[in-house]
């Protein structure tokens, strides 16, 4: 009888075929170690080209492993795909939306995975956007808005910024809990806004984003040196070259800020990031806090420490809107001639014209009128009366 030669139980390809199922079960550390061991055992039997590919693969997975900070079985991995979603403060809504899902699943941490644009030339942008926000500007926004923003969630496990889309596939391979889940396709941004609104309504009195303790320390120290007991009123400007119809009426806001200063308040101006280094002649003699324009952490801390925040329909306003600790007045919500701020778009996102969303606290209001000086005065006085009434009631209850 002819003797059958001994054979290894599994070939290289057979071993690799078993990896995906085991990776989901045992986690990414096992996955990386197992791939390296399997390839190493091939020794001199692998061709030179495959040995080179092996070295590249090992370097790549070790790099990826070092960027992952949360165990896969207790974390929800939220994939923010820049092919689908904008490079903007819309990520605030996405992350709060994902965090509501994390809470529903009773998981400990939320890990944000940023999936890069596959091809910048083929990625569709609104008319005129690319000529103002080119690829270099988009890359800067990814590093300075998208990457640090998830850390404003108390349950944040950090951000993984993938080098390319294949690396995101590796992360997806070992992530036990993923969101959005595979299905008919990624949810639209409008759907995310609607579901976030509904989820926050049922979230209880405390929800959303929070400033870091260290950020609050920095801002508290800055305010102690400058405000000297005056109530800080933070005014966030929109001076964007995209959809300029949504921009702040600078002359009206400057006049209002000067009135507040005379009344004993401490107005603080936060300029648009793109204009933060430009001179603001309307606001000469007033306090401009440029640091908040560059740092998400300081911006959130300033908003949380403010007696009242005021802003128009601008991306950074989402930090206030999605933080139950912030007091704010949100002006010029709707701008009919701008698609992203039209009544139809706002309705698709789940917002009713003329109303403040139901999850907002009594100290948060959406003002659907334009930000004229008279409107600023009227809404400010009304909100201050409301704040002082609540504070008097709280003080009275504390003494009982």
Least confident interval from 241-245, 252-256, 310-314: 241-245
Task: Kindly give the interhelix angle for 189-201 and 90-105, rounded to the nearest 10 degrees.
Answer: 50
Least Cα distance to 293 among 277, 307, 282 occurs for 277
Least confident interval from 122-131, 226-235, 324-333: 122-131
Per-residue model confidence (pLDDT) at position 1: 47
**Residue found by looking up tokens 């400058």 in the block:** 226
What pLDDT band is residue 19 in, cutting at 50, 70 and 90? low
Per-residue model confidence (pLDDT) at position 121: 81
Long-range contacts (CB closer than 8 Å, 24 or more residues apart) made by 309-312: 309/233, 309/234, 309/235, 309/236, 310/233, 310/234, 310/235, 310/236, 310/253, 310/376, 310/380, 311/235, 311/236, 311/237, 311/238, 311/248, 312/238, 312/246, 312/247, 312/248, 312/371
Question: Higher confidence at residue 131 or residue 15?
Answer: 131
Mean pLDDT of the chain: 87
Q: How many CB atoms lie within 10 A of CB 266?
A: 20
Task: Pick 213-399's CATH classification: 3.40.50.2000, 3.90.320.10, 3.30.160.20, 3.40.190.290.
Answer: 3.40.50.2000
Question: Higher confidence at residue 21 or residue 100?
Answer: 100
Per-residue model confidence (pLDDT) at position 122: 82
What pLDDT band is residue 376 in, cutting at 50, 70 and 90? very high
What pLDDT band is residue 394 in, cutting at 50, 70 and 90? confident
Per-residue model confidence (pLDDT) at position 348: 96
Per-residue model confidence (pLDDT) at position 79: 96
Least Cα distance to 330 among 350, 307, 351, 356 occurs for 356
Is 5 a residue whose pLDDT tops 80? Answer: no
Residue 64: both structure tokens together = 């990826």
Least confident interval from 13-22, 57-66, 213-222: 57-66
Instruction: Determine contact, residues 187/180, Cβ cutoff 8 Å.
Output: yes
Per-residue model confidence (pLDDT) at position 125: 78
Average pLDDT over residues 39-67: 52
Average pLDDT over residues 325-333: 98
Instruction: Determine contact, residues 160/69, Cβ cutoff 8 Å.
Output: no
């Amino acid at each position: 009888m002819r003797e059958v030669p001994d054979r290894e139980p599994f070939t290289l390809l057979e071993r690799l075929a078993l990896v995906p199922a085991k990776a989901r079960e045992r986690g990414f550390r096992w996955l990386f170690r197992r791939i390296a061991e399997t390839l190493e055992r091939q020794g001199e039997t692998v061709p030179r080209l495959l040995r080179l590919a092996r070295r590249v693969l090992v370097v790549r997975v070790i790099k990826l492993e070092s960027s992952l900070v949360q165990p896969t079985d207790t974390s929800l991995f939220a994939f923010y795909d820049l092919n689908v979603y904008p490079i903007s403060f819309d990520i605030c809504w996405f992350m709060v939306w994902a965090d509501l899902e994390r809470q529903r699943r009773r998981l400990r941490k939320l890990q944000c995975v940023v999936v890069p644009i596959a091809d910048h030339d083929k990625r569709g942008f609104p008319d005129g956007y690319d000529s103002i926000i080119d690829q270099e500007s988009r890359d800067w926004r990814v590093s300075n808005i998208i990457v640090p923003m998830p850390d404003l969630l108390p349950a944040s496990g950090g951000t993984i910024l993938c080098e390319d889309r294949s690396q995101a596939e590796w992360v997806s391979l070992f992530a036990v809990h993923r969101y959005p889940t595979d299905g008919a396709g990624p949810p639209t941004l409008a759907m995310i806004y609607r579901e976030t609104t509904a989820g926050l309504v049922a979230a209880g009195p405390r929800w959303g984003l929070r400033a870091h303790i260290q950020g609050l320390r920095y801002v508290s120290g800055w305010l102690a040196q400058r405000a000297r007991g005056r109530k800080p009123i933070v005014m966030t400007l929109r001076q964007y070259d995209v959809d300029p119809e949504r921009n702040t009426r600078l002359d009206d806001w400057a006049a209002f800020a000067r009135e507040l200063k005379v009344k004993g308040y401490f107005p603080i101006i936060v300029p648009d990031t793109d204009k933060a280094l430009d001179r603001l002649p309307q606001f000469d003699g007033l306090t401009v806090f440029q640091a908040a324009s560059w740092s998400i952490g300081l911006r959130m801390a300033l908003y949380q420490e403010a007696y009242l925040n005021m802003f128009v329909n601008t991306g950074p306003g989402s930090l206030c809107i999605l933080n139950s600790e912030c007091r704010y007045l949100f002006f010029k919500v709707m701008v009919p001639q701008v698609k992203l701020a039209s009544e139809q778009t706002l309705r698709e996102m789940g917002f009713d014209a003329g109303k403040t969303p139901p999850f907002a606290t009594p100290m948060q209001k959406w003002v659907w009128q334009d930000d004229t000086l008279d409107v600023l005065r009227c809404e400010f006085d009304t909100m201050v009366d409301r704040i002082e009434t609540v504070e008097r009631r709280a003080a009275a209850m504390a003494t009982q």
